Structure 1
Amino acid sequence: MRKTHFTAPAGLRRKIMSSKLSKELRAKYKTRALPIRKDDEVLICRGHTRAREGKVVKINRKRFKIYIERVIRDKVNGESTFIGIHPSNVVITKLKIDKNRQKILDRKSKTNSS
């Protein structure tokens, strides 16, 4: 199981890197979770940065981490860097909807409503 998880191909990693939807979005789209993507707005629910909100700036599928604006750490040399957070520790509060994502939402809501 561990080997399968850490050697998963990109398409499977995308699915593994899913986050729960907020209660409002869950009621609207009739689905519990979606793969996270850049420009989604999230609320951190776990860890020492909990209760912070922001937009997803970058996703690292190799390390299973997402990076959120304003969630940064100052390094010893004075630089600031993003703190990596696992997608299971956040809740999506606002989705970035495009044509493909809308298709996915329509398909999921259709199967969940019947």
Structure 2
Amino acid sequence: MGRSVLDGEQALVPNRASIPLFPRLSLQTVNMKFNPFVTSDRSKNRKRHFNAPSHVRRKITSSPLSEELRQKYSVRSMPIREDDEVQVVRGHYKGQQIGKVVQVYRKKYVIYIERVQREKANGTAVHVGIHPSKVVITRLNLAGQRSEKNSRTQSQISTVWKRERQI
């Protein structure tokens, strides 16, 4: 009988099993999306980031805590606030110098720190905006609700420790 077209194609390729059917897919890992209500579209995420309301920007302008504060409060990062003491750890102004946060400018996603300034052409000194992720909080301003939240988390942590010791 006659040979089909497929037989002829297979004859051209000596070892068909060694050649993947979809070479690009075999090189890349395919990440599956598990939550259909959360988008991974870059443009949509950028739009939400730059058009975010103030209460969402507060959470985005979070800074990591220093090692001592991290162990004390069992939290890795917190929304930054005026009068927190921070240390710049990335960029041109990084160093051992610790300064107070003068202003949190949510509209630009930056913070202004006490001694981080530059001189303008006319000689006046202006604060330089630094992104909150590029600093480490070394001392917290515990005025207002923040102290209540921290004391609440401390009591929760202590009860967890007590339970673990009993078990």
Structure with the largest fraction of strand? 1
**C-alpha contact 1:41 1:93 (8 A) present in aligned 2:** yes
Deviation, structure 1 residue 59:
1.0
Q: What code does the residue aligned with 1:31 have?
A: V
Deviation, structure 1 residue 108:
4.6
Deviation, structure 1 residue 53:
1.6
| Separation in structure 2 between the aligned mates of residue 108 and residue 79 of structure 1, nearest angstrom | 44
Unmatched runs of 5 consecutive residues or more in structure 1: none
Q: Superposition pairs for residues 90-105 of structure 1, below 5 Å?
A: 90-105=135-150
Q: What code does the residue aligned with 1:66 have?
A: I
Q: CA RMSD in A?
A: 1.5
Question: Secondary structure at the residue paired with 2:107?
Answer: coil
Alpha-carbon displacement from aligned partner over 1:53-95 (angstroms, at most 9, x marks no partner) = 2000011000001000111000001111000000000000000
Q: TM-score, normalising length from structure 1?
A: 0.92
Structure with the largest fraction of helix? 2
Q: Is 1:13 aligned with 2:24?
A: no
Greater relative contact order (CA < 8 Å, ≥ 6 in sequence): 1
The percent identity for this pair of structures is: 51
Q: Superposition pairs for residues 75-90 of structure 1, below 5 Å?
A: 75-90=120-135
Deviation, structure 1 residue 107:
4.5
| Separation in structure 1 between the aligned mates of residue 74 and residue 104 of structure 2, nearest angstrom | 25
Q: TM-score, normalising length from structure 2?
A: 0.64
Q: Superposition pairs for residues 35-46 of structure 1, below 5 Å?
A: 35-46=79-90
| Separation in structure 2 between the aligned mates of residue 97 and residue 14 of structure 1, nearest angstrom | 17
Unmatched runs of 5 consecutive residues or more in structure 2: 1-44, 161-167
Question: Secondary structure at the residue paired with 1:62?
Answer: helix
Q: What code does the residue aligned with 2:65 have?
A: L
Alpha-carbon displacement from aligned partner over 1:8-51 (angstroms, at most 9, x marks no partner) = 11110000000000000001111111000000000000000001
